[in-house]
Chains A and B, each alone.
Chain A
Amino acid sequence: MRWEGVWLRYHRRGPWVLREADLRLGAGEAAVVLGRNGVGKSTLLQLAAGVLRPARGRVVDRPRHVGWVPERFPADQPFTVGRYLAGMARVAGLGGAEADRAVLRWTERLGLTRFHGVRLPELSKGTAQKVGLAQALLRRPGLLILDEPWEGLDATARELVPTLIDEVLAAGGSVLVSDHRGETARLPGAARWTVADGTVTAQAPADASPEAFVVVELAVPVARAAGTVARLRADGHHVLRVRGTPPTPPGAATSAVDASEAAGRAPR
């Protein structure tokens, strides 16, 4: 997907929210949109989704199937979770049986099964947000757009978001995520698009090369530290150091191992 000189403002004589944005997002690539509150992150995402049209310039090569998770799910609707998702699956073009399977799969994965018969206005904010996630994933998106996806989610669901992103990327899709809380540190392979004063600055992923490393911190029981270090070394990882008892998990005597994840390669 490419952005060619995209300008946007909300009113004819209003200020420009975005000025001459030239961006590209290839298949299998992810980008994180960063910026202060109200700077135009959601606007950028809505342009990507095709919900807003640029005043000047254009967005081309948008994948056919787009999944958009808005910042706030519109829960003020007279449907149950199951009825809503089944309806949205059909709106997305899935056939009857296919739609039912997709709804079953995503309600299970996102822990929505017990809310199946609950009406949308009765859901908590986090649960409603999960319904928002589910509707975007019912049909595998070629472009997944997540507007502050971690907002309001419980720990289990928060952990799930990077997995979902990985799945879309692995299937050749693209992902665009906005974040103002630093949760996207979990996506080290994503490009950084910073929005400020109407301009977007794209920055390639810091650690895009296969030579790049990240530090993975592990906690293992003290008794198994030596064995773990040996196994990690045998797997080709570079163990940086072993240090004393960390605060977690409570009650268990553990020891922390810093292993440099080298994807099977020799260390630097």
Chain B
Amino acid sequence: MTALVRLRLAAFLRTGRALAPLLAGLLALGVLYGGGRAQPGEAYGVSAVVLFPVLAWQTKILLDVEPDVQRRLALVLAGAAREWAAGLLAALVAGLGTTVVALVFPWLVGGVTSQVGPDGRSVAAGVALGVWAHLLALPAAVALGALASRAVTGSAGYGVAVLALGAVGSLVLGLSSSVAPWLAPPVLPVARATAAGPSAATVAVLTGWAVAWSATLLAGYAWRRRVRV
């Protein structure tokens, strides 16, 4: 399976399609951190929110680079389950790369401060919260991007619609006044928690929520891929 992961990552990088989402991500981060220095925990929470649609888009691009027939050839050689898993894993690896860029970026441009803030939280604790926020957003974004991929939607138009509705819906339903917050991945609740300083119980609930949401979408992906190859 690692062979297929490598092949797909290589195709993603060599065709230059990796550039567009990376630039979009950097642009969003530039706007985010352009306003001055912030506490790491708070800033990283917002960074995970703006990165969520970028990571989903990046996943869709990565999965769509491969021609349909090549995807089927890989499926015949590796087996269906391995072919699906390899695509998701490649997207996860690429997403981790973007996440690392997002975590390092504010330190390079002076977007975060290393001084202890008024709430008395240490910089290390803030960074740890930021890593947690990004790691929760990544699988949810990969799952959404996978559901928007051409292998599932069959046409470019539907794919973009799924991606846009999913990303916008996740943000709108995640607002604190939302009527159905559980329908969305907890990217905005996580951002609010990192800003306020979450309790252990909050961290556990939000983690469980993100895992359950991602697992549900991935199950939907696997179910659709059983019929559509």
Contacts known (A74-B69, A76-B67); A87 close to B76, Cβ less than 8 A = no
Question: Chain B's nearest CB lies how many Å from the CB of A264?
Answer: 39
Among the 9-residue stretches B3-11, B31-39, B51-59, B87-95, the one with 4 or more Cβ atoms under 8 Å from chain A is B3-11
Q: Does B227 contact A (CB under 8 A)?
A: yes
Chain B hits for A156, CB < 8 A: none
Contact with B along A11-23 (1 / 0, CB 8 A): 0000000000000
Number of interface residues of B (CB under 8 A): 24
Q: Does A50 contact B (CB under 8 A)?
A: yes
Task: Find out whether the CB atom of A53 lies under 8 angstroms from the CB atom of B226.
Answer: yes
Task: Find out whether the CB atom of B14 lies under 8 angstroms from the CB atom of A78.
Answer: yes
Query: Which residues between 1 and 40 of chain B lie within 8 Å of chain A, taking CB atoms?
Result: 3-4, 6-7, 10-11, 14-15
Chief secondary structure at chain A's binding surface: loop
Task: Find out whether the CB atom of B67 lies under 8 angstroms from the CB atom of A74.
Answer: yes
Task: Find out whether the CB atom of B3 lies under 8 angstroms from the CB atom of A91.
Answer: yes
Q: Measured between alpha carbons, how far is A72 from B66 in the docked complex, in Å?
A: 15
Q: Does A193 contact B (CB under 8 A)?
A: no
Contacts known (A53-B227, A79-B11); A68 close to B3, Cβ less than 8 A = no
Q: Does A163 contact B (CB under 8 A)?
A: no
Q: Does A88 contact B (CB under 8 A)?
A: yes
Chain B hits for A72, CB < 8 A: 69
Of all chain A residues, the one with the shortest Cβ separation from B11 is A78
Question: Chain B's nearest CB lies how many Å from the CB of A122?
Answer: 14
Of all chain B residues, the one with the shortest Cβ separation from A50 is B76
Task: Find out whether the CB atom of B6 lies under 8 angstroms from the CB atom of A68.
Answer: no
Chain B hits for A53, CB < 8 A: 226-227, 229
Task: Find out whether the CB atom of A74 lies under 8 angstroms from the CB atom of B73.
Answer: yes
Task: Find out whether the CB atom of B78 lies under 8 angstroms from the CB atom of A92.
Answer: yes
Task: Find out whether the CB atom of A87 lies under 8 angstroms from the CB atom of B7.
Answer: yes
Task: Find out whether the CB atom of A70 lies under 8 angstroms from the CB atom of B73.
Answer: yes
Query: Which residues between 48 and 92 of chain A lie within 8 Å of chain B, taking CB atoms?
Result: 49-53, 66-68, 70, 72-74, 76-79, 87-88, 90-92
Of all chain A residues, the one with the shortest Cβ separation from B82 is A91
Q: Does A46 contact B (CB under 8 A)?
A: yes
Q: Measured between alpha carbons, how far is A77 from B69 in the docked complex, in Å?
A: 11
Of all chain A residues, the one with the shortest Cβ separation from B14 is A78
A70 interface neighbour in B4, B6, B72, Cβ under 8 Å: B72
Q: Does B222 contact A (CB under 8 A)?
A: no
Q: Does A135 contact B (CB under 8 A)?
A: yes
Of all chain A residues, the one with the shortest Cβ separation from B68 is A74
Contact with A along B214-227 (1 / 0, CB 8 A): 00000000000011
Of all chain A residues, the one with the shortest Cβ separation from B67 is A74
Task: Find out whether the CB atom of A91 lies under 8 angstroms from the CB atom of B72.
Answer: no
Chain A hits for B6, CB < 8 A: 87
Task: Find out whether the CB atom of A88 lies under 8 angstroms from the CB atom of B77.
Answer: yes
Task: Find out whether the CB atom of A52 lies under 8 angstroms from the CB atom of B14.
Answer: no
Of A46, A52, A88, chain B has the most CB atoms within 10 Å of the CB of A88
Task: Find out whether the CB atom of A51 lies under 8 angstroms from the CB atom of B229.
Answer: yes
Question: Chain A's nearest CB lies how many Å from the CB of B185?
Answer: 29
Q: Does B173 contact A (CB under 8 A)?
A: no
Task: Find out whether the CB atom of B11 lies under 8 angstroms from the CB atom of A68.
Answer: no
Question: Chain B's nearest CB lies how many Å from the CB of A26?
Answer: 21
Query: Which residues between 57 and 108 of chain B lie within 8 Å of chain A, taking CB atoms?
Result: 66-70, 72-78, 80
Task: Find out whether the CB atom of A66 lies under 8 angstroms from the CB atom of B76.
Answer: yes
Contact with A along B176-217 (1 / 0, CB 8 A): 000000000000000000000000000000000000000000
Chain A hits for B69, CB < 8 A: 70, 72-74
Q: Measured between alpha carbons, how far is A173 from B160 in the docked complex, in Å?
A: 43
Chain A hits for B67, CB < 8 A: 74, 76-77
Q: Measured between alpha carbons, how far is A93 from B76 in the docked complex, in Å?
A: 12
Task: Find out whether the CB atom of B80 lies under 8 angstroms from the CB atom of A50.
Answer: yes
Q: Measured between alpha carbons, how far is A217 from B14 in the docked complex, in Å?
A: 52
What are 16 A-B contacts defined by CB distance under 8 Å? A50-B76, A51-B76, A53-B226, A66-B77, A67-B76, A68-B73, A68-B76, A70-B69, A73-B69, A77-B67, A77-B70, A78-B11, A79-B10, A79-B14, A91-B78, A93-B77
A-B pairs, 7 with minimum CB distance:
A90-B3, A74-B67, A78-B14, A74-B69, A92-B77, A74-B70, A87-B7
Given contacts A49-B72, A78-B11, 14 further A-B contacts (CB under 8 A): A46-B72, A50-B75, A51-B75, A53-B229, A66-B76, A66-B77, A68-B72, A68-B73, A74-B73, A79-B14, A88-B74, A90-B3, A91-B74, A91-B77
